[in-house]
Amino acid sequence: MHFLRPATCLTAALSVTFVGRVAAQTVTVKASINPLLSVEERIPLSAGLGLEVGLTSHSALQLFGSYRHFRAQDEEPDTGPKLYLDYRYYFAAEQPQTGFFASPFLGVGRLKLGLGDVPLSGAVRGKRTEQEAGLLLGYQQVFSRLTLDAFAGPAYRWETTRYATLPFSQKSVFLWLRAGFSVGLRVKK
């Protein structure tokens, strides 16, 4: 599956999306923070900001960025940014971009890795690049201008970890669960 590079997928998605004429446009600014969802070193404490732009009453593009902080016992935890691009299709929108949706997405991120609980002498922090693609199912509700949405779905993720002191990099590929919620303010109806 290495032929599906994120940049290629992103370019294809944007090309297909913007070929047609945009009929009904809404703009929603979103924020998310998940301090209660932080689970050991698996789910990070994160804060994010995003923008959802309605293309039609049933579809939207969402760009969402976050900064993650993995809790760990060491003095320097894993930290770094992540960026997602989602295409949302709303099945039966009573208002533009409301109700149940399906959303294919692409994500890219980078982490600066901590040294661990008991670092070895001369240990150096590593860097990890992350790429993922998947499909979310979710629900978005609009209250006047306030939006609330929750979503979850599987993701195919590939990572590359590099350390300055090692002559090689470690690659891993696995299935992952992306889940979350956000609060938004619709700035353009």
- The SS3 call for residue 86 is strand
Number of neighbouring beta carbons within 10 Å of residue 110: 14
Extents of the domains making up the chain? 6-10+23-117+124-184
From residue 42, alpha-carbon distances to 12, 37, 142, 177 in Å are 31, 10, 31, 11
pLDDT at position 18 over 70: no
CATH 2.40.160 matches 6-10+23-117+124-184: yes
Both structure tokens of 64: 């969402």
* pLDDT on residue 74: 56
Q: What is the pLDDT of residues 100-158, one digit of tens each?
A: 999 999 999 998 887 655 556 666 778 999 999 999 999 999 998 999 999 999 999 99
Mean predicted lDDT score pLDDT of the chain: 80
DSSP class per residue in 139-189: EEEEETTEEEEEEEEEEEEEEEEE-TTSSSEEEEEEEEEEEEEEEEEEEE-
Mean pLDDT of 39-53: 74
Mean pLDDT of 60-65: 95
Q: What is the pLDDT of residues 30-45, one digit of tens each?
A: 998 765 444 555 555 6
DSSP class per residue in 52-70: EEEEETTEEEEEEEEEEE-
C-alpha–C-alpha distance, residues 186 and 101, integer Å:
18
pLDDT at position 2 over 50: no
pLDDT at position 78 over 80: no
- This model's pTM is above 0.85: no
| pLDDT more than 70, % of the chain | 71
Contact (Cβ atoms closer than 8 angstroms) between residue 147 and residue 107: no
* pLDDT on residue 23: 47
Mean pLDDT of 18-39: 65
* pLDDT on residue 115: 67
